[in-house]
Amino acid sequence: MHKVLRELKVELGERSYPIIIGQGLLGSFDLTPWVAGQQVMIVTNDTVGPLYLEKVKGCFPGKAIEVVTLPDGEQFKDWQTLNLIFDALLEKRHTRKTTLVALGGGVVGDMAGFAAACYQRGVPFIQVPTTLLSQVDSSVGGKTGINHPLGKNMIGAFHQPQAVLIDTNSLQTLPEREVSAGLAEVIKYGLIRDESFLAWLEDSMESLLRLDAEALGEAIYRSCVCKAEVVALDEREGGLRAILNLGHTFGHAIETFAGYGNWLHGEAVGTGMMMAADLSVREGLISADDRARAVALIRRARLPEWAPSGMTSEDFMNLMSVDKKNVDGRLRLVLLKAIGDAFITENASADNIRDTLRAFLPQAG
Ligand SMILES: NC(=O)c1ccc[n+]([C@@H]2O[C@H](COP(=O)([O-])OP(=O)(O)OC[C@H]3O[C@@H](n4cnc5c(N)ncnc54)[C@H](O)[C@@H]3O)[C@@H](O)[C@H]2O)c1
Ligand SMILES: O=C(O)C(=O)C[C@@H](O)[C@H](O)[C@H](O)COP(=O)(O)O
Ligand SMILES: [Zn+2]
């Protein structure tokens, strides 16, 4: 039998939806109340499908279920792979009443969500995230899309899911490296908006790394609360939502430079958040002790702390110049005013940015 641990709602008026967090939900939690018609198309990949597909089918009693299985990897978050979803939908004559279900990590979620945003100009979808990163971040908030060789997530749409179903048991099969990647986004919430959560993470890091169920449930719930609040205040990133991008300007540059899939998204965000904390010190915003606190926690999550070998400051500047947050050619960065208080600025000094980049190049170590 399943156990629902926590439930919360992303408050977006008529686009509001629940996030249901529990244990043993895959296979027994009934998701049909969030399915509009009779047809369900589950989008998964060739790693997650063999682990959880049969169980998830049990969440849709009485519905006609089809499946499309994508190749696994960030390098497949592209047009060609996205088309496999459209091919499957069209070959079987799916209509606007079909509900897509994203079963997998953030890559599957972003692609299935984007397919749902586009297919016949928009069909409903449900997120069933199975990585820590997707449970705390990508399944919530409606950012969907694919990568372009010149930049991360450059093609996409805002499209909110009907519901998010999080079964924390699925994390028991997750490789260690993916657990660390997910922890980067968890730490992000403490840094941007919730100092007390950061303090709790400092106390709980060892429990989280050993996949203690109670600690995971708490970390996922508190992360989802934070993300849901920010998204409810600024759904389409007019302003505040950009704080969810802490570390991402540097991190996306790293992912693109390294080649999609070589650095995990969370790994790049971990290094990127250390860089953001470093720049915040250089800008006179936080103390060196605050930076040390952020860096120590990111290190304890077993995340990398140097840029990829061969990457130069110029590579960073070129890749960061295409960031979506930039306006009129000005680099906009998320920095920290304090631990638990982030803001977006285009006023960071060019000298300080250059010094931060240099400090994180591999030869600096
Ligand atoms: N839309 C958003 O708001 C948002 C937020 C954060 C990240 N993202 C995107 O999410 C992606 C990263 O997501 P991710 O970290 O989940 O990576 P991922 O989707 O690549 O999954 C990581 C790996 O774990 C495997 N996997 C998934 N669930 C598993 C399980 N339960 N057991 C064993 N293996 C499992 C996957 O097949 C994959 O190999 C990036 O593309 C990033 O840009 C989007
Ligand atoms: O939901 C958001 O908003 C975020 O920024 C969450 C990020 O963790 C995530 O990686 C997101 O995909 C980044 O968005 P992008 O627009 O900078 O590509
Ligand atoms: Zn992210």
Q: Is 160 in the pocket of ligand 1 (CB under 6 A)?
A: no
Please say which residue of 124, 142, 173 terminates a domain: 173
Q: Are residues 233 and 324 in the same domain?
A: yes
Question: How does residue 1 score in pLDDT terms, banded at 50, 70 and 90?
Answer: confident
Give dist(CA 353, CA 21) in Å, integer: 40
Q: Are residues 203 and 187 in the same domain?
A: yes
Q: Are residues 184 and 115 in the same domain?
A: no
Task: Check 55, 159, 193, 265 and give the catalytic one.
Answer: 265
Q: Are residues 206 and 93 in the same domain?
A: no
Q: Whose CA is nearest to atom 44 of ligand 1?
A: 138
Tell whether ipTM is more than 0.90.
yes
3-class DSSP assignment, residue 304: coil
% residues pLDDT > 70 (the chain): 99
Please say which residue of 173, 194, 217 terminates a domain: 173
* Average pLDDT estimate for 42-49: 98
Mutate to test the pocket of ligand 2, among 127, 137, 240 (most ligand atoms within 8 A of CB): 137
User: Can you give the residue range of the structural domain that contains 42?
Assistant: 3-173
Mutate to test the pocket of ligand 1, among 55, 82, 133, 137 (most ligand atoms within 8 A of CB): 133
Q: Are residues 160 and 203 in the same domain?
A: no
CATH number, domain with residue 67: 3.40.50.1970
295-351 pLDDT tens trace: 999 999 999 999 999 999 999 999 999 999 999 999 999 999 999 999 999 999 999
Q: Are residues 158 and 9 in the same domain?
A: yes
- Tell me whether residue 252 is one of the annotated catalytic residues: yes
Q: What is the dihedral of CA 167, 221, 251, 335, to 10 degrees?
A: 170
Q: Are 44 and 69 in contact (CB under 8 A)?
A: yes
Please say which residue of 150, 173, 196 terminates a domain: 173
Q: Is 129 in the pocket of ligand 1 (CB under 6 A)?
A: no
**Lookup: tokens for 191:** 């840094």
Q: Are residues 190 and 133 in the same domain?
A: no
Q: Are residues 261 and 333 in the same domain?
A: yes
Is the pLDDT at 365 greater than 60, yes or no?
Answer: no
315-330 pLDDT tens trace: 999 999 999 999 999 9
Question: How does residue 2 score in pLDDT terms, banded at 50, 70 and 90?
Answer: very high
Tell how far the Cα of 63 is from the centroid of ligand 3, in angstroms.
Answer: 33
Question: What is the pLDDT at residue 364?
Answer: 61
Q: Are residues 250 and 231 in the same domain?
A: yes
Q: Are 224 and 140 in contact (CB under 8 A)?
A: yes
Question: What is the pLDDT at residue 343?
Answer: 98
Q: How confident is the prediction for the chain on average, in pLDDT?
A: 97
Tell how far the Cα of 144 is from the centroid of ligand 3, in angstroms.
Answer: 12
- Tell me whether residue 2 is one of the annotated catalytic residues: no
Tell how far the Cα of 133 is from the centroid of ligand 1, in angstroms.
Answer: 6
Vertex 243 angle, CA 239 and 246, to 5°: 145
Question: 93: left (phi > 0), else alpha (psi -120 to 50), else beta?
Answer: left
Q: Are residues 254 and 338 in the same domain?
A: yes
The residues with which 70 forms a beta bridge, in sequence order, are 45
| Backbone Cα Rg of the chain | 20
* Average pLDDT estimate for 231-255: 98
- Tell me whether residue 143 is one of the annotated catalytic residues: yes
Question: How does residue 3 score in pLDDT terms, banded at 50, 70 and 90?
Answer: very high
Q: Are residues 100 and 137 in the same domain?
A: yes
CATH number, domain with residue 347: 1.20.1090.10
How many separate domains does the chain show? Answer: 2
Q: Are residues 188 and 286 in the same domain?
A: yes
